[in-house]
Amino acid sequence: MKNNEVKFTLPMLDAPRTLRVKFRKVGNLQYISHLDLQRTFQRVLVRAGLPLWYTKGFNPHIKMVFGMPLPVGSESECEYLDIRIEREMSCAEVKARLNGELTEELAVLDVYPATTKLSDMAYAVYDYTVHTTGADEALVARVREVLQNGPLYVIKKGKAGEKEVNILDSLKSAEVALLDGALIMRITLAAGEGRYISPEAVITALRREVGILSGDPTKEHYRILRRRVLLADGKTDFV
């Protein structure tokens, strides 16, 4: 029996149910844009044979909302997507069906009923691994000093145009260390409306202020991984 045939034998819900899909986007998938990600999930959701709820009107479409789009070139272990279903299907079944259409680099980690709003996301925790020429304890000290005391300015683009902002106004915490010759940073940045700072902006500002990644581009490289998303208290994990 095909997926779409199974779907229509399931009992209807009294009202559409919102499910939250937590997924990873790592490896080569860091290079696809958010628009490409949206198009990918549109196809995956249909191929998975889920009992999706569609918007009404002249041009019905799948109701799906992503939380905090990830910049191209960054990876994540905590991406979120809200979808709606109109027929009874377990979260385990939804997860299995989605992963049947995905890969290890773009994989669903969990599916559960949404009990919070995506707008409740307030902070994001990023792990940086920077392989840069001259990485030593002196560099660690300089980076730590700048991240603690700044200022650390970057140009931020918004609907009203470009403006200069101090990253430290949106930085909740920063840890810096040296490990196996690489600069390791764990930085918590504001993610809420109006205070969001791209994790890439930290690299841009530190390159200018401290000189990281200013050597041979064939030998220097870095990785940004979004590890956690937090609520407004800066401690509780978003779910």
- Give per-residue pLDDT as tens, 61-82: 899 999 999 999 999 999 999 9
In a domain, 194, yes or no: yes
Q: Is a pLDDT exceeding 90 seen at residue 45?
A: yes
pLDDT score for 151? 86
Q: Do both 141 and 65 map to the same domain?
A: no
Report pLDDT digits (tens) over 94-112: 999 999 999 999 999 999 9
Tell me, yes or no, whether 10 lies in a domain.
Answer: yes
Report if pTM > 0.85: yes
Q: Are 7 and 111 part of one and the same domain? A: yes
- Indicate if 77 and 137 belong to the same structural domain: no
Domain that holds residue 70: 3-115
235 within some domain: no
Can you say how many angstroms the Cα of residue 37 is from the centroid of all Cα atoms in its chain?
Answer: 12
93 and 24, same domain (yes or no): yes
What one-letter code names the amino acid at 1?
M
The last residue of a domain, from among 92, 115, 138 = 115
* Rounded Cα distance, 110 and 21, in Å: 6
Asked, for residue 26, whether it belongs to a domain, the answer is yes
pLDDT at 7: 55
Provide the terminal-to-terminal Cα distance of the chain, rounded to the nearest Å.
34
Spatial neighbors of 225 by CB under 8 A, at least 6 apart, are: 26, 74, 75, 76, 77, 126, 127, 128, 129
Torsion from C-alpha of 62, 63, 68, 71, nearest 10 degrees: 10
Q: Are residues 107 and 126 part of one domain?
A: no
Identify the domain boundary among 86, 115, 144.
115
